[in-house]
Structure 1
Amino acid sequence: MQIENNSVVSFHYVLREQGGENIESNQDSVPMAYLHGHGNILAGLEDAMVGLTVGDSKSVVLSPEQAYGPRREGAVQKVPVKHLAGKYKRLLPGMVVKVNTEKGAINARIIKPGKFMVELDMNHPFAGKTLEFDIEIKAIRAASEEEIAHGHAHGDGGHHH
């Protein structure tokens, strides 16, 4: 079976900034599962996976525009500490935190912590970076009607209701 729309795809990946050290990997854990064609992963990565089969490996390079976009200057905001999602023992410059917004929790990087207010860079931590993914396809199956209706994969490595 090849990867196509409405396939549930499970894969391992290693992510790095192009030419740099590994940033993230799921090699030692459950493969990530997603519903192909429903925008569940970066569009450039999803496009590069079309036609792959179980056991295939591939390196995919995504420009900032294909990944998390260019860095936006002026994306700095002062936010009350109470709007941070989760409990943090100590806030430090450079730390990535989750911030509650009208669109849900998003990641932001601390520029300057304070007792009541924190100055945050609201760019995605990978914005402006050319990213390289090394992927290995572990499983492909047809999506269930429920998965298609919900717009995401269910089960191991996917969404749990």
Structure 2
Amino acid sequence: MSKVKQNDTVKVHYTGTLENGEVFDSSLQREPIEFTLGQGQLIPGFENGVIDMTVNEKKTIHIPSAEAYGDVREELIQEVPKAELPPEIEPQIGMGLVSRTPDGREIQLVVKDVKDEAIVVDANHPLAGKDLTFEIEVLEIK
């Protein structure tokens, strides 16, 4: 029976949970994901976890934050004067915002704090600093 190896394209169903058991993402109610190992499409710990799995095999993998979305980087948390926000935006904690870099790239931000004259935004991935657990089932190896 063939096993998943580097450069294979695979289809998998997965459910991702945090340490407290909260589900943060799952493919079970939609199409499975398809990806090619070694192309950096998914976090390293997920790709490494499917290596040597066979079709119809189910497995639970635990991924430390370093192999997932990395540690929280303090330099990605910044205070922004409210005067720099568009006037129609009423910032709320947890609100998502998008900023553009000078070269035109979009950066996803989350409002962490709202002060009188400024807001605190965080550009870290929402799962940065978190260890993750995935239930994975390999459906197809191409």
TM-score range, shorter chain: 0.7 to 0.9
State the SS of the aligned residue for 1:65. helix
CA distance, structure 2, for counterparts of residue 9 and residue 89 of structure 1: 42
Gaps of 5+ in 2: none
Structure 1 length as normaliser, TM-score? 0.70
Give the greater-gyration-radius structure (CA): 2
Within-5 A mapping of 1:1-161 = 1-77=2-78, 78=80, 80-81=84-85, 91-101=91-101, 102=103, 104-112=105-113, 119-141=120-142
CA distance, structure 2, for counterparts of residue 122 and residue 47 of structure 1: 26
CA distance, structure 2, for counterparts of residue 130 and residue 69 of structure 1: 9
Gaps of 5+ in 1: 83-87, 142-161
Number of positions where the alignment pairs a residue of Structure 1 with one of Structure 2: 134
Q: CA deviation at 1:90?
A: 6.1
The answer to whether the 8 A contact 1:107-1:125 is kept is: no
CA RMSD of aligned residues (A): 2.6
Change (3 A) 1:100 1:20: farther
Change (3 A) 1:54 1:76: same
Q: Percent identity?
A: 28
Structure 2 length as normaliser, TM-score? 0.79
